[in-house]
Structure 1
């Protein structure tokens, strides 16, 4: 199979718009927020105001222990505050 260029997926009518600035044609969604004050400024958010990211899945080349049943497994999914095997995960 040969590699395709993006031009291969354009229809005949699309070629005339290829040089247009898409941002000029579509202003995009309204990004204003109810949290803006009268000046239009959005208040700064500090690191203490944001919850840290947590994984939803973990893989280990060496088996790790399931947080629920204690069995050694390579793949575990987050279930509440612990990582559990697929059998213990509440899907």
Structure 2
């Protein structure tokens, strides 16, 4: 049952594109960074409950504007991929 629920959540998340606005300099470098909490909050605000611990950022926090494919580990055997677009304010 848990595996089926995780797979259903993964199917919903695979089609999602989240846009996060942040303050950035002229060359796209952010003032600060976008971390797991920011991504989880953005997904939750979009109606998809995601815990911060499920967001995987193997290279650390995101520090530039652009598009990033972010892995969401919902279960040991189930992972989804979300497109996160960071744009300058």
TM-score by length of 2: 0.22
Greater relative CO (CA pairs within 8 A, separation 6+): 2
